Amino acid sequence: MTSQDKLSEIARCAWRIRRYAVRMGEVQGQGYVGQALGYADVLAVAYGHAMTFRKDDPDWAGRDRFLLSHGHYAIAHYAAMIEAGIIPESELETYGSDDSRLPMSGMATYTPGMEMSGGSLGQGLPIAVGIALGLRHQNNPAFVYNSMSDGELDEGSVWEAAMSAAHHGLSNLICMVDINNQQADGPSTKVLGFEPLADKWASFGWHVQRVDGNHLPAVLRAFDTARRLTDAKPRVIL
């Protein structure tokens, strides 16, 4: 497959992820559909290209782990896992309903492929650090992906975990930060300024890439670079 064919395939994947998210939002007449539409390209690259997993065995020990720290993005994550074949498309119509495996905020106890229960922001990266360290002790080559939003950068636990990841040289940890400048209390940069963000992560000992999250070639290159690096540093894609 040529690089252009791969990009076209991932673009179609992202389109279907957006469509699944809109269909789920229609079920309840609500949901964080905007986040899903904006983040679909990142999820398409993650699930359609970068990650190793078995769709029929979501608990396979050799899988790459994807942690959704921003639990309110669950509708986007479900859509990506439907596209990946981990969740049956037929369950889409149950989104947010009683006894559904697809609650409005991600819950590891309910949903196949969901590695953590999200909702309380700032918890994903600390959990990801622990998993990445555990995998290394087990000589398991799997990667750990932690997906989070810029509003979570307000939480001190994020920076404690970032420092710990660098201290332990967790090169199997890849963090993605969605910089959309939106959180419940207003624009993220007005609530608590975080720039220069790339410099902050670099000063904590991380390998940093900053890309346009809706430019598929750039996102694809960023994921490939993060996986191929050989230095003993955790990686972050902003």
pLDDT score of 207 more than 80: yes
Separation CA 136–CA 132 (nearest Å): 6
pLDDT in tens, 176-202: 999 988 887 888 888 888 899 999 999
- Residue recorded with tokens 């959990």: 127
CATH number for the domain harbouring residue 59: 3.40.50.970
For residue 125, pLDDT beyond 70: yes
Q: Which helix (H) or strand (E) holds 224?
A: helix 216-228
Whole-number pLDDT of residue 96: 87
pLDDT of residue 32: 83
Q: What is the pLDDT of residues 63-75, one digit of tens each?
A: 999 999 998 899 9
Domains of the chain: total: 1
Rounded Cα distance between 219 and 186, Å, is: 27
What percent of the chain is modeled with pLDDT above 90? 78
Q: What percent of the chain has pLDDT over 70?
A: 100
Using a CB cutoff of 8 Å and minimum separation of 24, what contacts does 190-196 make? 191/151, 191/154, 192/153, 192/154, 194/150, 194/153
What is the pLDDT confidence band of residue 1, given thresholds at 50, 70 and 90?
Answer: low
Average pLDDT of the residues of the chain = 94
pLDDT digits (tens, 9 = 90+) for 8-58: 999 999 999 999 999 999 988 878 888 899 999 999 999 999 999 999 999
Q: Which domain holds residue 28?
A: 3-237
